[in-house]
Structure 1
Amino acid sequence: MRVTEIIADLHVSDIETARDFYTDYLGLSAEEFNLGWVARFTDPRSGVNLQLVTRDATAVTDPVVSVRVDDVDAAYADAVARGYEIVHPLTTEEWGVTRFFVRAPDGNVLNVVQHRT
């Protein structure tokens, strides 16, 4: 398994209300997607991005970061073999990603995800 990207998941009460700060002030102008409960904003020049999250649609808790990997099945198997707590099971979500949530030993919850094309 190889990590290909890490994206901060910032918790906000309302994506539409928060949008102006992150787009106007920080210049994250490209909205890559918006599912209503999560939206990703990117700086088109540098490619840096972040996600605004109100509440995860299918999991019981919210992650602090999303970790994109090249092999989510291997990442899941490794997390289980190491005895890490799986907070959200390996799931192919209706919006086209396969992911699981794992709790790090420090308590942070990470969304480990692969975009399958």
Structure 2
Amino acid sequence: MVVTRIVANLNAPDPMALAKFYRLVFDLDLPFDMGWIAFLSRESTQKIELHTASQGGSGTELPVISIGVDDLDATEAAVRDAGAEVVYGPATEPWGLRRFFFRDPAGNLVNVVDS
């Protein structure tokens, strides 16, 4: 057996409103919308990862998802411009990653990491 993908499902009372937020901040495509669920994607080659954890590191709450970006500062600005609250960082962690956390409009805690 080979795992071909792992998908994050973010809880949202209004899936399309949350999809709009993520499209705006991360420049994602919306290939599929059923009203109760919206699929966001971006064509790329990615490795598959699944993390298990008891906290988010540095004593933080565990985020529901981590998103790697190539420009952390620009992404932080996009998150703030979209009206989301940055609740941690940006910080360079003792293990070498630079990241920040924000709460999306549905209240999900998201980790954004410089990849």
Residue type of the alignment partner of 1:101: F
Give the unaligned 5+ runs of structure 1.
1-5, 9-45
Residue type of the alignment partner of 2:57: A
Q: Note the alpha carbon deviations across 1:21-47, whole angstroms, 9 max, x for none.
A: xxxxxxxxxxxxxxxxxxxxxxxxx94
Residue type of the alignment partner of 2:62: D
Helix, strand or coil at the partner of 2:107: coil
Report the Cα offset of residue 7 of structure 1. Answer: 8.0
Query: Runs of 4 or more off by more than 4 Å in structure 1?
Result: none
- Residue 57 (str. 1) matches residue 57 (str. 2): yes
Residue type of the alignment partner of 2:68: R
Report the Cα offset of residue 55 of structure 1. Answer: 1.2
| TM-score (ref. length: structure 1) | 0.55
* RMSD (Å), alpha carbons: 2.3
Report the Cα offset of residue 81 of structure 1. Answer: 2.0
Alpha-carbon spacing, 1:97–1:109, altered in 2? closer, same or farther (3 Å): same
Check the 8 A contact 1:7/1:50 in 2, yes or no: no
Give the unaligned 5+ runs of structure 2.
1-5, 9-45
Alpha-carbon spacing, 1:103–1:87, altered in 2? closer, same or farther (3 Å): same
| TM-score (ref. length: structure 2) | 0.55
CA distance in 2, matches of 1:111, 1:55: 12
CA distance in 2, matches of 1:75, 1:102: 11
